Amino acid sequence: MTTTTHSRMLILGSGPAGLSAAIYAARAGLKPVVVQGMQPGGQLTITTDVENYPGFREVIQGPWLMQEMQAQAEHVGAGMVWDQIVDVDLSQRPFRLTGDGGNVYTADTLVISTGAQAKWLGVEGEEALSGKGVSACATCDGFFYRGKKVVVIGGGNTAVEEALYLTNHSQDVTLIHRRDSLRAEKILQERLFAHPNIKILWNKAVKRFVGGEGAAGLVGVDLIDTMTGEETHEPTDGAFVAIGHKPATELFEGKLELDEGYIVVEKGTSKTAIPGVFAAGDVTDKIYRQAVTAAGMGCMAALDAERFLAEADFEATKAAAAAE
């Protein structure tokens, strides 16, 4: 049997953005409901060491941080539902969302915080060595490669930015690109080419990530020349896959304005073009994509939604009084 649940604020996603929105909304007395999705806790649950989330002097573990965030949200009164939303109707309020088992969620306001997943190459060794030398986030993990050799794979803005960022930690950065020219903006390319600590391997695709003996982690990448087919090996301590991200916004295509898949919000707010629908975190952020920025945006979305509800309640009371 399917159920219908109504909430003042429905939050889609249980990463740092969704759970921060839940904490703020619950503390405002809105009894928010969080639909957790297929990845309860979001992207940080697939990493280990987190060293840049404020408030913790020592390195903490991503899954632990997200458990604590969820416990905090529940402690102040947020409800959690384990479901994956497969359909949304934003054409009228209350908004109507349907889970994959047919359960229906109606809501006066909706906070979308479904995140963005890094794109991976899908080659041998990548998954097994993820977090053990293979990463998709230089800002998150670059620090762990201080003084070591790293490679960055990709040819767009993200790859060039990651390579430049990594020079803060490493004197030996190699950009590996499958073509003979980069897609990145010219100004970024100029900075890349001018950097003494970055070398580029053109026309090379990664065939396999190679791990060392036992628990040694990544020791190198096997490459294949895209012009000649020649195979070579590049030793490295860290490999950063930087071929872009895919925001989880398929549900909103044709319903909300998207920019390269990211939900467009009014500048400096979390408001989408549909009153009562807000977006927060990586799903609306193609630049920063960090846990702390996602959490900050979750806070903004809860506050924007709370103000929206307060105004709507006030208008409804005024209209009712005028009708008497």
Give the residues lining the site for ligand FAD (CB under 6 A): 12-18, 35-40, 42-44, 46-47, 50, 52-53, 84-85, 113-115, 118, 136-137, 140, 248, 251, 281-283, 289-292, 294
CA dihedral 306, 311, 315, 321 (to 10 degrees): 70
Query: What's the distance, CA 46 to chain centroid?
Result: 12
- Nearer CB in complex with ligand FAD: 33/35: 35
CB of 293 to ligand FAD, least distance (A): 7
Give me the catalytic one of 108, 137, 237, 285: 137
Collapsing DSSP states into helix, strand and coil, what is residue 281?
A: helix
d(CA 233, CA 152): 15
- Nearer CB in complex with ligand FAD: 182/249: 249
Helix, strand, coil content of the chain in percent (nearest 5)? 30, 30, 40
Find the angle CA(242)-CA(244)-CA(250) to the nearest 5 degrees: 155
Is residue 141 flagged as an active site residue?
Answer: yes
- Nearer CB in complex with ligand FAD: 146/186: 146
Q: Given the DSSP bridges, would you call strands 33-35 and 79-81 parallel, antiparallel or unpaired? A: parallel
Is residue 140 flagged as an active site residue?
Answer: yes
- Nearer CB in complex with ligand FAD: 243/251: 251
Give me the catalytic one of 141, 237, 282, 304: 141
Give me the catalytic one of 140, 237, 285, 304: 140
CB of 172 to ligand FAD, least distance (A): 22
- Nearer CB in complex with ligand FAD: 28/34: 34
Is residue 49 flagged as an active site residue?
Answer: no
- Nearer CB in complex with ligand FAD: 251/258: 251
Q: Say if CB 124 and CB 148 are below 8 A apart.
A: no
CB of 144 to ligand FAD, least distance (A): 10
d(CA 47, CA 45): 6
CB of 52 to ligand FAD, least distance (A): 5
CB of 190 to ligand FAD, least distance (A): 28
d(CA 166, CA 145): 9
CB of 223 to ligand FAD, least distance (A): 23
Q: Say if CB 291 and CB 53 are below 8 A apart.
A: yes
Which secondary structure element, helix H or strand E, spans residue 185, and what is its range?
A: none
DSSP secondary structure, 126-181, as one string:
TTTTBTTTEES-HHHHGGGGTTSEEEEE-SSHHHHHHHHHHTTT-SEEEEE-SSSS
Counting Cα atoms < 13 Å in the Cβ hemisphere of 229 gives 0
Residues annotated as catalytic (active site), given as ranges: 137, 140-141
